[in-house]
Amino acid sequence: MELFHNQVTREQGVFSYRFNHHSFGLYLMAENVEASTTVLDFPSLSEFRREVRKGYDYIGISFIVPNAAKAGKMAEVVREESPSTKIILGGHGVSIQGIENLIPHDFICRGEGVGFLRRLLGETVDRPVRHPMLHSSFNRRVMGVPLPKMSGVLLPGVGCPNKCRFCCTSHFFGDYIPYLSTGKEMFDVCRGYEEKLGITDFGVLDENFLKSPERALELLDCIENEGKLYTFGIFSSAETLLALGNLDILVRLGVQFIWIGVESKREAYEKNRGVDFHDLIRELRERGISVMASSILFLEHHDKKSIWEDIDFAVSLRPDYLQFMQLGPMPGTALHDSYLKKGKLRSDIPYEEWHGQDKIWFRHPSFNGEESRELLKKAFMRDYEYAGASLLRAIDTMLRGYRYALGHSDPRVRRRAESFTLVKQMRHFLPAARLLSSNRATGELAKQLASRYRALFGPRSAGDYMVSAAVTGFAVAEWARIRYMSDVRHPGKNLRRYRWSKSDEDLSVCMTPALAPEA
């Protein structure tokens, strides 16, 4: 469960981001039922087995398609250790054709989970949703430097009306289902985070947050009226960004990260028709908004030549982060149904490899599995060698945004210069970046950034040199660990109990993801 390291910065060595993310949906569901509930996140198989022995009324196992075998093993453990416990299967893995016959279970949750659990437990279904307080990531390291848990997660809703043919979430949830329907509701959750945890930065887990512009603008009004400086990372399609009319609205809102699906230069989805991505990404970065662009490889039209045209197009956009993902006909999507009907899915590729970062699991006219694996790696390397480490690109964007806000004529934008809270601290990574750069682009960018820092903030102080030396020490140790040992990092178990005590005789539920490393 390392989003960046596995599918974004995966070929960038010591510069790759190392974050883990919680199974957010389980905590949301646990927060919104009345029964005593446990969330067991990232258990080993032995830890899971010990928890099962407590004799829960229900155990919910949430899993994605690559973890189907783990879910099956965990279900067997439940049957073995606690035969009276009812098993609930949920998550995208339940879209696997014939899942009813593959994994022992009593119930299957397809789609939105809060309402499902409330109905199953005989609770009031339509009461308001309580938002959990969760850090957006943990176990955080950049160049070996441990970072504090700084951000919270917002879950405004699930689903997306765009329904791109390959998208699991939009097909799984159907039309958009809001949990936080108004900007005021979102603001109240943000304020709760600030008061309880001191958090003012948020990752917004919503497929296309700006698709509800009225909600976003109401949130902006609340933020500015209350004088807050909350910041956000969001997902958005290009069309919704352009519909805003003025990208400075994003600056005023505090958006500092956007994930955009570029997909392909040639295959224009409705959300991307007529979009000049070079211009859009350049304008976003100039305003201090880091961009993660996502590109799909092994589309139907790709051959040995055209696939490199798409790779080079994506690289030329110069986003801060670039994800290359293989076309993935995942169960439940229109793409999967089409490929299944045409007999294009391969039966010899196990579900464990259906994740888009190894071999394709369908028959492509121009590429086999081994070629797809090697070409994907080369695509990531092409981006890294052309534009340098994503960490440095993000620092570049941060400096641009800080300068943009400082010099803006609108005082609402100008005040946002204060939102770039890490702008001075990130300077400490530059000496290590120059020392450990493995390509010319990274070294040159580190050198340019050092010059721009001197122009903006003056020469480094003695204290700055000491901090930079410490960062370099962490970075060198991380470089050596990766090179001579391993870059594998497992998150530890996280257990959280809700309305629960050992003497509790009320209905009890345990929910866990299928992420047991020993399974």
Q: How far apart are CA 139 and CA 270, in angstroms?
A: 38
> How confident is the model over 33-77, as pLDDT tens digits?
999 999 999 999 999 999 999 999 999 999 999 999 999 999 999
Instruction: State the DSSP string of 89-117.
Output: EESGGGGSTTGGGTS--SEE--S-HHHHH
Domains 24-129+499-513 and 147-401 are alike in CATH topology? no
Q: How far apart are CA 478 and CA 463, in angstroms?
A: 23
Which residues face 134 on adjacent strands? none
Six-digit token string for 325: 């993902």
Task: State in Å, rounded, how far the first CA of the chain is from the last one.
Answer: 16
Contact 208, 160 (CB under 8 A): yes
Give the closest residue to 170 by CA, choosing from 159, 179, 180, 178: 159
Strands (E), 29-150: 36-41, 58-62, 86-90, 107-108, 138-142, 145-147
Contact 485, 479 (CB under 8 A): no
The topology under which CATH files domain 147-401 is pyruvate-formate lyase- activating enzyme (3.80.30)
| Digitized pLDDT (tens) for each residue of the chain, 519 residues in all | 799 999 999 999 999 999 999 999 999 999 999 999 999 999 999 999 999 999 999 999 999 999 999 999 999 999 999 999 999 999 999 999 999 999 999 999 999 999 999 999 999 999 999 999 999 999 999 999 999 989 999 999 999 887 889 988 888 998 899 999 999 999 999 999 999 999 999 999 998 899 999 999 999 999 999 999 999 999 999 999 999 999 999 999 999 999 999 999 876 666 787 889 999 999 999 999 999 999 999 999 999 999 999 999 999 999 999 999 999 999 999 999 999 999 999 999 999 999 999 999 999 999 999 999 999 999 999 999 999 999 999 999 999 999 999 999 999 999 999 999 999 999 999 999 999 999 999 999 999 999 999 999 999 999 999 999 999 999 999 999 999 999 988 898 999 999 987 555 566 888 988 865 544
Residue type, 370: E
Contact 73, 102 (CB under 8 A): no
Give the closest residue to 28 by CA, choosing from 112, 126, 145, 98: 112
Give the closest residue to 21 by CA, choosing from 38, 37, 5, 44: 5
Task: Give the Å distances, CA to CA, from 193 to 157, 160, 403, 418.
Answer: 18, 26, 29, 19
Record the pTM: 0.94
Contact 251, 288 (CB under 8 A): yes
Q: In what order do the strands lie in the sheet with 255-263?
A: 151-154, 201-204, 231-235, 255-263, 290-297, 321-326
Residue 38 CB contacts under 8 Å (≥ 6 apart), including other chains: 30, 51, 56, 495, 496, 497, 498, 500, 508, 509, 510, 511
Six-digit token string for 164: 């791109």
Domain 24-129+499-513 CATH (choose: 1.10.260, 3.40.50, 1.10.3470, 2.60.40)? 3.40.50
Domain ranges in the chain are 24-129+499-513, 147-401, 408-484
What one-character DSSP code corresponds to residue 498? E
> How confident is the model over 267-313, as pLDDT tens digits?
666 678 788 999 999 999 999 999 999 999 999 999 999 999 999 99
* Mean pLDDT of the chain, nearest integer: 94
